[in-house]
C-alpha cells in the first residue's frame, strides 16, 4: 500500500465489555508489565513530580512560576510578563505547537501515550480501581453483579480515593495562580475567597469526571489531536503496528507445536493486546485514530511471544516504510524539514524578542483638557503624565530627561524610584518663554535611564504645543 498509512475509523474489536454506571464504555484495561510500561511509569512519576513541586520552587524570594491574575503578571523565573507581552507569549505557544508537530511527525503520538495529563491521570485512576476492586476479570465480574454490601463498599472506597486524588490535583493546579504558602495558610484557616473556592471545586469535579468516568472518551471524542494526527504522519512516522505477514493466520496452539504445518502464523489469538489497550481497540485491525501509541500491546505481546518461545516484535514500534520494506528517508523528509524551518523561525524570533525585551515601559500622555496654558510668569506650559512600568524583578531608580528643538524648562522629578512590578504615573510640566518659540508644534523626546544600567534607555515621542501667534510673528 504505497504512500499512505491506512487509518481505520472502525473500532471493532473482540474485547468483551461489561458496562456499568461506573464505567459506561465497558473498557477495563488489564495491567501489563514490560519495558514500555516501565518507561510510562517513569514518565508518570516525572510528570507528577514536576506538576506538584514546580509551584514550590523559589526564585529571588518569590515563587518561580506564578500566574498572578489579580495583578495581571506572569512570573517565569527571572522574567515577568505583562498583558502587553501577549504577543511574546503567543509566540511561545506557537513554538510549542510546532515542537509537538515535529515530534509527532517523527515519533507519532508519544505525547499521548506517555505524558498527556489525560493519560497520566487515567492511569492513576485505573490503578486505584485495580487496587480496590481487583484484576480486569474481577472488575468486569463486579460490574455485572447486583448491588451487594461488598460491591457498595468497594465502589465507595474507589470513588473516595478518586475524589481525594482529584482534590489534590486541583490544589496543585491552583498553586500556579496563588502563592503556595499563602494559599495553604488560607486553606487551613478556611479563608479561601469565593473564586478560589469555585475553581477548587471546578477542577476537582473536572478531574474526577475526566479521569474517572470519561477516560478514553476524552481521547476519542474530546481531543482534536487524534483527528488531525493523520496530517502530520508520513510513511516514516513511528507507529505501533501488528506484523500481519508474520502473525496471520491466527490460531491457538500448544507450545512447541509445529504450527507452521497447520498454516498458522505467530499470533495465537490470545487477545492480550486487546485486553491491555486503554482505548479498547484491536491493533491487529491496523492503525486506528484511537491508538495513543502507549505500547501496552507491545509489552503484552512480547510477554506472550517469550512464553511461546517465538521472536518478539509481532506487535512493535515501526514505520510504514519498514513494514513494506521501502527505503526510509530518515530526517530528510518534506514534513520534518518544513516544520523544522518553521519552528526555527518562530523559535529564533521568540528568543530574540525575549532577550532584547526591555524590562521597563514608558508611555507619555498629554493633558487632554488644554493644549497649553499661560503661567503667571508669562510662560507657556504643557502638562504630561509619564507612566513608567518596571517589568523587572528588582527596584529601579530611573532618571528622567527631555530633549527638544527649543530650550524648555523641565518641571518635575529628575529621578524616581519604582519598585519591582510597579506602575507609576508621574505628572510633569514643560515651560517655555513664548519669545523663544519658533514653531507652535515641536517634537519632544522623553528619556528614562536606569541608574544601575546606563544602557537601559527608553525613549518616547510627544509634542510641545505653543500659541498660534508664535508662527504668525
Same domain, 279 and 326: yes
User: 311 pLDDT band (50/70/90 cuts)?
Assistant: very high
Domain end among 305, 331, 357? 357
Same domain? 375 vs 317:
no
Cell 530611573 belongs to 398
Read out DSSP for 92-136? HHHHHHHHHHHHHHHH-SHIIIII-HHHHHHHHHHHHHHHHH-SH
Q: How far apart are CA 27 and CA 31, in angstroms?
A: 13
Tell me the three cell numbers of residue 136. Answer: 480486569
Together in a domain, 125 and 263:
yes
What is the pLDDT confidence band of residue 472, given thresholds at 50, 70 and 90? low
Among 357, 390, 408, where does a domain finish? 357
Closest CA to 37 of 409, 299, 410: 299
What is the band of 395 on the pLDDT scale with cuts at 50, 70, 90? confident
Q: Counting every residue, how long is the chain?
A: 473
Nearest CA to 36 out of 330, 321, 319, 315 is that of 315
Asked whether the beta carbons of 433 and 466 are under 8 A apart, the reply is: no
Least confident piece of the model among 234-238, 244-248, 267-271, 382-386:
234-238
Does position 169 have pLDDT exceeding 50, yes or no? yes
Asked if 225 and 264 sit in the same domain, the reply is yes
**9 confidence band (pLDDT: 50, 70, 90):** very low
So what's the pLDDT on residue 192? Answer: 84
Domain enclosing residue 277, as ranges: 1-357
CA–CA distances in Å: residue 247 to residues 7, 287, 301, 313, 451: 20, 16, 11, 10, 75
Shared domain for 21 and 57, answered yes or no, is: yes
Could you read off the pLDDT of 275-292 as tens digits, one per residue?
999 888 899 998 888 888
Count of domains observed in the chain = 2
Last residue of a domain, one of 357, 390, 412: 357
- Residue 381 and residue 330 share a domain: no
Mean pLDDT, rounded, for 360-380: 84
- The answer on 245 and 134 residing in a single domain is yes
Contact 423, 464 (CB under 8 A): no
> Residue 228 — pLDDT band, cuts 50, 70, 90?
confident
Same domain flag for 184 and 165: yes
Quickly state the pLDDT bin for 253 (edges 50, 70, 90).
confident
Model confidence at 7, pLDDT cuts 50, 70, 90, reads very low
State the Cα–Cα distance between residues 200 and 324, nearest whole angstrom: 52
CATH of the domain at 388: 2.60.40.10
The Cα 104–Cα 237 span in angstroms is 8
Looking at the fold, whether 295 and 372 belong to one and the same domain comes out as no
Chain centroid offset of residue 57 CA? 19
pLDDT at site 130: 92
Which of 74-78, 157-161, 286-290 has the largest mean confidence? 157-161
Instruction: Looking at the structure, tell me whether residues 443 and 321 fall in a common domain.
Output: no
Amino acid at each position: 500500500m504505497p504512500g499512505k498509512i491506512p487509518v481505520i475509523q472502525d473500532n471493532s474489536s473482540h474485547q468483551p465489555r461489561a458496562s456499568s454506571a461506573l464505567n459506561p464504555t465497558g473498557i477495563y484495561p488489564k495491567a501489563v508489565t514490560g519495558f514500555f510500561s516501565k518507561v510510562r511509569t517513569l514518565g508518570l512519576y516525572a510528570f507528577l513530580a514536576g506538576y506538584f513541586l514546580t509551584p514550590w520552587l523559589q526564585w529571588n524570594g518569590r515563587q518561580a512560576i506564578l500566574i498572578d491574575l489579580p495583578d495581571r503578571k506572569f512570573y517565569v523565573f527571572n522574567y515577568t510578563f505583562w498583558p502587553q507581552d501577549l504577543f511574546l507569549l503567543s509566540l511561545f505557544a506557537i513554538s510549542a505547537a510546532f515542537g509537538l508537530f515535529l515530534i509527532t511527525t517523527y515519533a507519532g503520538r508519544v505525547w499521548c501515550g506517555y505524558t498527556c495529563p489525560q493519560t497520566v491521570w487515567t492511569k492513576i485512576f485505573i490503578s486505584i480501581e485495580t487496587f480496590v476492586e481487583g484484576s480486569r476479570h474481577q472488575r468486569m465480574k463486579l460490574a455485572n453483579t447486583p448491588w451487594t454490601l461488598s460491591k457498595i463498599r468497594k465502589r465507595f472506597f474507589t470513588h473516595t480515593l478518586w475524589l481525594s486524588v482529584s482534590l489534590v490535583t486541583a490544589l496543585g493546579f491552583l498553586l500556579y495562580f496563588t502563592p503556595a504558602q499563602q494559599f495553604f495558610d488560607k486553606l487551613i484557616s478556611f479563608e479561601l475567597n469565593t473564586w478560589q473556592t469555585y475553581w477548587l471545586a471546578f477542577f476537582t469535579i473536572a478531574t474526577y469526571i475526566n479521569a474517572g468516568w470519561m477516560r478514553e472518551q476524552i481521547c476519542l471524542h474530546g481531543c482534536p489531536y487524534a483527528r488531525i494526527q493523520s496530517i502530520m504522519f508520513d510513511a516514516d512516522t513511528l507507529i505501533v503496528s501488528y506484523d500481519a505477514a508474520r502473525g496471520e493466520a491466527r490460531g491457538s496452539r500448544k507450545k512447541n507445536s509445529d504450527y507452521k504445518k497447520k498454516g498458522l502464523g505467530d499470533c495465537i489469538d490470545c487477545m492480550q493486546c486487546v485486553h491491555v489497550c486503554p482505548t479498547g481497540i484491536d491493533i491487529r485491525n491496523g492503525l486506528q485514530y484511537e491508538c495513543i501509541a502507549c505500547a501496552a500491546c507491545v509489552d503484552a505481546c512480547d510477554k506472550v511471544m517469550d512464553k511461546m518461545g517465538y521472536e518478539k516484535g509481532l506487535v512493535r514500534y515501526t514505520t510504514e516504510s519498514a513494514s513494506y520494506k521501502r527505503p526510509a528517508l530518515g530526517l530528510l523528509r518534506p514534513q520534518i524539514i518544513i516544520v523544522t524551518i518553521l519552528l526555527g523561525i518562530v523559535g529564533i524570533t521568540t528568543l530574540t524578542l525575549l532577550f532584547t525585551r526591555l524590562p521597563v515601559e514608558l508611555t507619555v500622555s498629554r493633558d487632554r483638557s488644554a493644549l497649553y496654558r499661560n503661567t503667571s510668569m508669562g510662560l507657556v506650559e504643557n502638562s504630561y503624565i509619564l507612566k513608567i512600568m518596571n517589568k523587572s524583578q528588582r527596584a529601579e531608580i530611573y532618571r528622567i530627561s527631555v530633549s527638544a528643538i527649543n530650550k524648555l524648562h523641565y518641571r518635575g522629578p529628575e529621578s524616581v524610584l519604582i519598585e519591582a512590578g510597579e506602575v507609576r504615573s508621574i505628572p510633569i510640566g514643560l515651560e517655555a518663554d513664548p519669545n523663544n518659540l519658533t514653531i507652535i508644534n515641536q517634537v519632544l523626546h522623553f528619556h528614562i535611564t536606569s541608574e544601575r544600567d546606563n544602557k537601559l534607555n527608553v525613549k518616547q515621542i510627544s509634542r510641545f504645543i505653543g500659541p498660534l501667534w508664535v508662527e504668525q510673528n
